[in-house]
Structure 1
Amino acid sequence: MEVLTPEEWEELLQEKDGELKVVLRELADVKYALDQSTILAITDHRGIILRANEQFCRISKYSRSELLGQDHRLLNSGHHPKSFFQQMWKCIGSGKVWRGEICNRAKDGSLYWVDTTIVPFVNTAGKIYQYVSIRNDITARKHMEEEVRKSEELYRIIAENTSDIISMINAEGDFLYLSPSHKAVFEHDIPDERFHNMFEWIVESDRDVMAYAIQHTYSTRKEYTVECRILTRKGDTIWTESKINPVLDEQGNVSKLLLITRDITDRKQSEELIHHLAYHDALTDLPNRRMYVQHLSREIIQAKRFQSNLAVLFLDLDRFKDVNDSFGHDVGDLLLVEASNRLRECLRPGDVVARLGGDEFTVLLSQLTDREEAAALADQIMNALQRPFELHGHSFNVSCSIGIALFPQDGDNADDLLKRADTALYTVKSHGKNGYEFFDPTMEAKSLERILMENELRKAIEQEHFQIYYQPKIDIVTGKLTGMEALVRWVHPELGVISPIRFIPIAEETGMIISLGEWILRQACRQNKLWHDQGFPLKVSVNLSARQIYQKDLVDMIKNVLEETGLPPEWLELEITESIFVKLEEATAILQQIRDIGIRISIDDFGTGYSSFSYIKSLPVDTIKIDASFIRDIHHNQESQAIVKAIVTIAQSLNMNVIAEGIELDDQVAALQENGCDLGQGYLFSRPLATDDFDRYLRKDLAQ
């Protein structure tokens, strides 16, 4: 054994002392770190607190002197049952380490949660003499978990009680979750576990639509809405709309899909009714102008491709106005229905007849052999309509006038062919009616009357020979005035009042409607601002023609008029006709700009030709005005009632207002109220009134 010298002993002791100091310093650092981040406590074998660090005191809100010597049950919150602590003591009493989460109560009564590890220490005799508790504060995490639990419970309640079907599926359409509401929607009591894949529900021809929707949502990670038909247990088919939302995992990938599905069968039926209304004349059920023009355009494309010929016949009934004036509109309507039936009988398979409005009809002959074939059909139509009509005990004899345009010589598009057939028709009428004429280019020369009318109209615009009349809009439930429509009247110094029917079409065709329309808008806004200042806050409606919609500076012009007159934009409503939606995207953009100013938009004469639900629901429109033709017989015609009810239903689903025009009878008011329409205008309430007369009407309404 090597013997160390005193100097070597001294050096060795200094070295060991240095190592001990390092160890003690490291232990002190560890203790400090634990004291700053962890709750530490030492109890004896009975649970009496012997040591408590600063973190323990801070979270419990007890001082160290208040904790030492106390039983650990001082912190018991009452949250856990006795069995919880019995299991804990059983574990640590056997010398094993116990881990768990405990809810304690602080000195001020507040609760806090700690993630706890209790380590038992055993002496040389094998007896437990103390426990060291190491705790971490998890109160914030527990609160968050509780909020999540409450949210999950709320969503579960919503999912299980909503009338919509809420489901979760994978990429193959397998159900991962299915809310109970499917039992009510599909009218069955089949247990959920019997449904494995959503494609089992879907009508076979619609499965590709749903498959595409699922694939699209997975690939784009964006919400997608899809409509498809589903079979119920009873074998009925219902329409559904599903909003498909991607559910992303932690890596941002789509792990599954959330579907909210609702029954839209009623809406689809209303859409189909509106769609039929959009393409058919309500009285005769013939195709209307929109459907006819679309069909004619398609036939022209085919005719160009195969170098075939077409004929367009434009006709109206001679002396029809006399029948209306003498026997009323009801008899006139019956005459139009019977005339349309006779026109159908004259056609070959593949030919089309449409009603354009009033007593005007048009016929398309496809695969035309020669000019004589069109002449033969014109003769056949004239003979059919000349047979007496027996209606309501009266016998009527009417004739018709027909204008004929041929493709390709008279035009290579639908508008030109219709225009030239119409020109030929009016040539027939100017020659005494009851006949037909083929179009000739010389017919397009303007008549002297037309030239004079244009000149007089241009002069009237320059000299402002116009007046604005106002027709009240009424809440038909309360009888209160809700607004008014501004209507222009031409007051000629020699001819007197000229009907808008005569001069508005000329203004449209010549472009004079641009300056006239601006004058009307300015006068209506200025007058309405004056009424506002006098205590009559009402909205004024001004008609906006299709020609105006597409003028370049329309939006700027409207802004300038509002700024000049001082009328706030929310008190102005612009009424448009459905014809502007031929250029749907362009019209939508312009209307949105107008609406962004704060001005309301109304569709006038709804249902007369161009409207379609697929258009309406995507347009920036606030109000739908039901055309007077549907109101005329609503009190005794179930079809008119169904149409009005469908329009009201669609409008309400899109948060739009509905107003009926042309109300003349109290029975019509009752029928409108019964079908959900509460706003109206018409002669029952008031004819259009001159400014002074409407001013008196206002004051009388206020006094009531």
Structure 2
Amino acid sequence: MLNSPVGEYQPRVLLVDDEPRVLASLLELLNGRGYHITTAGGGREAIEHLSRTPFDLVVLDLHMPEVSGHDVMDFISVRNLDAQVVVTSGATEIEAAIGAIRQGAYGYLRKPYPREELYKTVGNALQQRRLESENQRIAQQLKRSERMYRYLVDSSPDIIYTLGPDGCFTFINDRVQQLLGYRREELIGQHYSTVVYEGDMERANYVFNEGRTAFSQSRSVELRLKPLRAENEPRTFSIVMVMIQPGTDSDSVKLDARHKTEGGTYCVARDVTERKRADEQIAYQAYHDILTELPNRALFKDRLGLALLQAKRNETNLAVMFIDLDRFKVVNDTLGHGAGDALLQQVATRLKACLRRCDTLSRLGGDEFTAVLPELSDRQDAALIAGKFVDCLRQPFQVAGQPVHVSASIGVALYPYDGSQQEELVRNADIAMYHMKSQGKNGYAFFHASLLETSYQKIVLEHDLHMALERGELEMFYQPQVDISTQKIIGAEALMRWNHPARGFMGAGEFLPFAEESGLILPISDWMLEAICRDFLEWTALGGDSMRLSLNISPQYLDRGDFFEKLKNALVRHQIPPGQIEVEVTENICIRNPQNAIDQLDKLCQLGVSVAIDDFGTGYSSLSYLHRFPIHTIKIDRSFVMEIQDSGAQFPVVLAIVAIAQGLGLNLVSEGVETAVQAKYLADAGCRIMQGFLYHQPMAQGKLVELLSAQASGGAELHTLN
């Protein structure tokens, strides 16, 4: 009945209730919802309607006098009427619902029921009715098309075969030779075990033997079938089976005359080997890191959760380790991402070799690894494995044809002492790892409660830094640069200070790392540009037209790509000549993203701004970048200057840097000059411009303005420590 085109057929619904008011209410609720509704005021009237008219659904009250709802359901069952039944009742006993369901009711509504529940139950019952009707229609179409099977079988891409009651092949198409190498004649009369892979034989026996006891069923199973050539790998097939009853007539499924009396099994086997492999690969990749083939974050959490359950049950210890490679970013940026990937693979292999079979090493991403170590006796067991991790990385790695050294900072958290939950243990191991990094890297550290306070202080400091810009707590200090031949200030390096309301003045090294991590370095750098431009205008007003202002630029700020435009706009807005501005960058900027750095620095040079390399010689530099990059000045790092303690000794690194600058025609500035011995040695070596405590400490804008004013009037004494 439900096969009519949409819009032409209305489901026929019979409403049965002996209470007129309830029946009227039910009719009102369902009327206008696209149903053809008939009502019956009792069980006897309902049976009369059912005898004359087919219905798709009967909404039936159970408790009615004379002829009850159960009697009506018995009538439907005995007459084999094709109708769904939804029973309603005011009875609260569960037995009423159970009895109705056992009699074949689709659903049960206990009075009083919400209208939404009525609509949902009626709609679902009719939907199931439609699906069953559609299935019947499809089944009828399939039955009519069975006569075409003989032609289709031989051209099918699947293996089609039939088995007799004894499990032997009675028919098989030619596809078996293409997929497995058997000729059909070789298999006719052979038992199915001839082709089933030994590892799947138990499942095959269960399915085929059970199938012959339930002829009306069809089923599917995946089995591996073995090719004729033993050296070939088994192939996986999805097999759909339909049971053929003995005595099948000529219109039923048959591919061989013997089926008519013997019965058997009709099967279609589709080769799903490649799909299976793809599914397995997808499933593997969902839980493993593709690069290192280690468990990924999802599998790590699963393994850690299981290990925690076992540790709680067995009252044993467990360790979580957070492993972060030191200097990996330098290697990755210098040698390229391909070399970085190769290094990670080698690191993973070494770390995994240090673990027991019950341990899990995973890669979270980047250069971060984690490890779960269950069943530990004590803290020393974890320390032993952590020590193995550190030791295994000491030997150089061969990457891109050259040796590469990396180390690791490892944090360790122990269950149950450092936490009982996954997130808590991972967090505390991470905190311990960062503590290890702050202590010099290349080692391991166990978590302890005091580290939480340190981490909390970092969070507080980061919050305060957010507020520092709004509150105007940042200030610019300047350290003068002196031309020792004239003893005059010729420039100054801009240095940021934070006047923290509780901690007092803080140097850039104390808070800029937090700004880098949190992304605050960008708005802070924007503020710095405006601040130094305003200050610089005061210098020029005092006759400092030849003064040079040096400013340090964060790698993040340069990488954003809009630094050039911001600096250019600031200089135009304040009418500052670009030739008096020098941008200081570290040499690592030149190797972390070389092409981007070249592009940015070239633009600065075209604008007229000069470029200085700060801390020259302290990074992992190559002299080739001095030729590739538009550099005007080299600054000798204070670490090399501090080594100069004896004017009669030789300091080859300093001499080499001076020689490089002179050979390339670059300006040279020594920073961190604190003693007369250092100043004399550097001057004798050929360095003319110096900055350091011997001459001036970093100072506020007001103090620098006083010095420049005194210098303009000829009264400044610049050769002594201020």
What's the TM-score bracket when you normalise by the shorter of the two chains? 0.3 to 0.5
Give the TM-score, by structure 1 length: 0.42
Give the TM-score, by structure 2 length: 0.41
